[in-house]
Amino acid sequence: MDTEYKSRTQKKNEDRALQRLGEELVDLPLSTLKTMALPEELLSAIEFVHKIKSNSARRRQVQYIGVIMRRIDPQPIQAALERIRSGYPPK
């Protein structure tokens, strides 16, 4: 078997990290997000969060964004966030 064993705790920690990455995306303005070349499903889920008023519904939507983040490659998103934090526009 070539698959690496991951403990349940390790999987949960990775999932939480992806959800935190999604929360960082939610905090960005929509104009910045549209320049980041995000997958359409992720972008529409983030846009929907901005319309939600209820805290519990917002929390559920952020959890859903975490689910979407597990299905995509987070490396380009992390790189774009690093460029934004350092003051450079996303590519």
**Band of the pLDDT at 66, cuts 50, 70, 90?**
very high
Work out the percent of the chain whose per-residue pLDDT is above 90.
74
pLDDT score for 57: 96
Q: Which residues contact 27 (CB under 8 A, 6 or more apart)?
A: none
Are 62 and 26 in contact by the 8 Å Cβ rule? The answer is yes
Q: Average pLDDT for residues 38-48, to the nearest whole number?
A: 95
CA distances to 46, 61, 64, 89 from 33, in Å: 9, 17, 17, 11
Q: pLDDT tens digits for 13-34?
A: 999 999 999 999 999 999 999 8
Tokens encoding 63: 């959890």
Topology of domain 10-85 in CATH is: Diphtheria Toxin Repressor; domain 2 (1.10.60)
Looking at residue 77, its amino acid is I
